[in-house]
Amino acid sequence: MNGIDMASSTRLDRNGIIYGVLGAVLFSTKPILIKIIYQYGIPPETLMTLRLVFSLPFYLFFGLMAWQTRKQTGNLPKLSLTTIIATIILGMLGYYVASYLDLLGLTHITAQFERLILFTYPIFVAILSVFVFKTRLTTTAIASLALTFTGLAIIFTRDLNDFGSEITIGALLVLGASLVFSVFIVFSKNLISQTGPRLFTSIAMSGAAFAIMLHYLLIYDLSGLIVPAEVYLIAGFIAVFATVLPSYFLAAAISRIGPGPTSIVGSAGPVFTTLMAIIFLDEIFTIQHFIGMSLVIAGVTWLALSRSE
């Protein structure tokens, strides 16, 4: 029996690592594909709306499946109006505001720098948790923070020479996206425990969908969604393979190998983004970029491991 249990545990660990790698690789393609779409002259608002159109049906489908499953088992969540409204507001923050700031930022900075900045959101989660949950900011968290932002500063200084003030605007926008997403993460924990992850995501995405469509219609008319076929194809790929699937792959990885090991696997994401940015976008990569990237990955991974112990 012990032999079987050990074999099963090894198999689950291997599967968890595979899911984590798949999630990291697929997520890492998103900034590359967004940059390619921008080459067609597509504005961020149009891309955000197209991605919603392609991804929302999947999230609603999975949410409906989750509801049916809980209904069959007699375990339906008690959804109060307060819970629904709070989930919708968080959805607007996490899936609309953060996404929009990120898309805007990508019009100013490189794909590899964007991915590294977004990768810092666990640092903001740790800081926000001090104020929201009254947790203690440990020495490890402070050291991780210093290490991470030293890395970002090295890359920022290097890119400032090449791109000028554009890099400042883009970095602040993506940093804002990372901060807003960390707010989403911190305040979603309690709501997810009440509704379940799939149902929470469906309600949150519905709230974001309303905000995104309203935003788009206030700026453009629906004819703006008529774009070249190649853009539909790439936007569909972003929605399904760089948004929906990796979110479930990473959730599966966390459930099998835990958040610490998953963070180590996920740290490969910025590396994949950098490689693809060099190959497909001809972005430069210097020794300063290597040092900065190494410091950011080390800082965030160190923090994630210390919090999972």
In order, the DSSP letters of 89-145 are HHHIIIIIIHHHHHHHHTTTS-HHHHHHHHTTHHHHHHHHHHHHS-----HHHHHHH
308 or 134: which carries more pLDDT confidence?
134
- Note whether 237 and 32 are within 8 A (CB): no
Q: What is the pLDDT of residues 139-169, one digit of tens each?
A: 988 999 999 999 999 999 999 988 888 999 9
List the Cα angle 241/33/55 in 5-degree steps. Answer: 40
Reported in sequence order, the residue ranges of the chain that DSSP labels E, i.e. its strands, are: none
Q: What is the DSSP letter of 73?
A: T
Q: What does the domain layout of the chain look like in residue ranges?
A: 20-308
| Per-residue pLDDT at 32 | 97
Coil, helix or strand at residue 228: coil
Round the CA-based radius of gyration of the chain to a whole number and report it.
20
- The single residue listed with the structure tokens 């899911």 is 19
What confidence score (pLDDT) does residue 12 get? 47
Average pLDDT estimate for 203-224: 93
- Tell me the per-residue pLDDT of 219-244, one tens digit each, with 9 for 90 and over: 999 999 999 999 999 999 999 999 98
Looking at residue 70, its pLDDT comes to 80
Judged by average pLDDT, the poorest of 1-10, 176-185, 221-230 is: 1-10
Per-residue confidence (pLDDT) for residue 17, from 0 to 100? 86
For the entire predicted model, the pTM comes to: 0.89
What's the one-letter identity of residue 39?
A: Q
